[in-house]
Amino acid sequence: MSYGSMRTQREGLPPAALAKAIISLVDGRKRFPSEAQPQAALLLARLSPFVAEQPPRVQLDICGLLRLERCYNGQVLQRQGGRGRSFYILLKGLVEETVAAADRSRTDLVRALRPGDSFGAEAIRKRKYTCPTAIQCQSPCYFLKLDKASRNTFNAAWLLKQNEESHL
């Protein structure tokens, strides 16, 4: 039994333990292998509200589009006022979300993100999205990332599939 499958049998795992189980499913690859996608979908639904609100089949499809990304201390993932193009689920590390004053004289902490937290859902839900905050890594981090282009491809394929099924 793999580490990930042992962990899903328990209830109430903390986000860091869920994230560790998810990383073990990727197993050195950039994406989930197809045989690990059902397990990953279960774990991600418990970790991310964005994934949890999707129907089970959609959760599985999302797992096929997510990719593991490593970011470094100090790396900026999103600039305030920039275009949002990706959804991220933090698996490991610390990230700060900040907002600059209108005159740029100071920067205030909005929240500190920890494993299990996510950001960017609005960026892939909306056609054009301007980021109201900046996101910067405060330590080496691992994320699962869903790009807007992947989400758009997924949406188109999913809608076509739904349309085909409704005409059967």
H-helix segments, the chain: 3-8, 15-26, 37-47, 49-52, 56-65, 121-125, 148-166
Please check whether residue 21 is in contact with residue 46, taking contact to mean a CB–CB distance below 8 angstroms.
Answer: no
CA dist., res. 164 & res. 45, Å (int)? 27
Residue 48 and residue 75 in one domain: no
Count how many Cα atoms sit within 13 Å of the Cα of residue 7 in the half-sphere of its side chain: 23
CA dist., res. 76 & res. 18, Å (int)? 25
Please check whether residue 96 is in contact with residue 135, taking contact to mean a CB–CB distance below 8 angstroms.
Answer: yes
Residue 115 and residue 49 in one domain: no
Segment 101-144, tens digit of pLDDT: 888 788 899 999 988 888 888 877 777 788 899 999 999 999 99
Q: Is the pLDDT of residue 100 over 50?
A: yes
Residue 161 — very low, low, confident or very high, per pLDDT cuts 50/70/90?
Answer: low
Q: Is the pLDDT of residue 1 over 90?
A: no
Mean pLDDT of 73-100: 91
Residue 97 — very low, low, confident or very high, per pLDDT cuts 50/70/90?
Answer: very high
Q: Nearest CA to 151 among 90, 26, 66, 89?
A: 66
In total, how many domains does the chain have?
Answer: 2
Q: Which two tokens stand for residue 64?
A: 């096929």
Residue 31 — very low, low, confident or very high, per pLDDT cuts 50/70/90?
Answer: confident
pLDDT reported for residue 54: 80
CA dist., res. 29 & res. 45, Å (int)? 21
Which residues constitute the domain of residue 118? 69-147
Residue 42 and residue 104 in one domain: no
Would you say the pTM of this structure is higher than 0.95? no
Domain final position from 16, 46, 67? 67
**Residue 84 placed within a domain:** yes
Domain final position from 36, 67, 98? 67
